[in-house]
Amino acid sequence: MTREALAEFDQQFPSLLDATGSQIAFTNLPLASNTISIYTAAGDLVDAFMHDGSTDGGTVMWNLMSRNGQEIVSGIYLYSVETHDPQFADFVGRFVVVW
């Protein structure tokens, strides 16, 4: 996504805590406790956070900041959604950030 596309998206989901002014939505998450982990294409952990499946209708927003508080760079990123409920399967995907 471009900054312009993300800026338009932010108009629908504003966040005063969003340092970059950009976010990405992880949607259709299992209705269970989940851990979302984001990695670089080289496999380095960028960020990891929890989502309580009983809230937010299966959606969690990420502000494109690393766990060290730095804005991520353009590139290909991998993510995994690990559910803590055996009823649901884990999932792995990828996305691209272009600044």
pLDDT in tens, 48-61: 999 887 766 788 88
Rounded distance between C-alpha atoms, residue 6 and residue 29, angstroms: 21
Per-residue pLDDT, 93 = 94
Q: What is the CATH number of domain 3-97?
A: 2.60.40.4070
Per-residue pLDDT, 59 = 87
Signed CA dihedral, 3, 41, 16, 70: sign only: negative
Reported as a single tens digit per residue, the pLDDT across 14-25 is: 444 555 568 998
Mean of per-residue pLDDT scores for the chain? 83
**pTM, rounded to two decimals:** 0.76
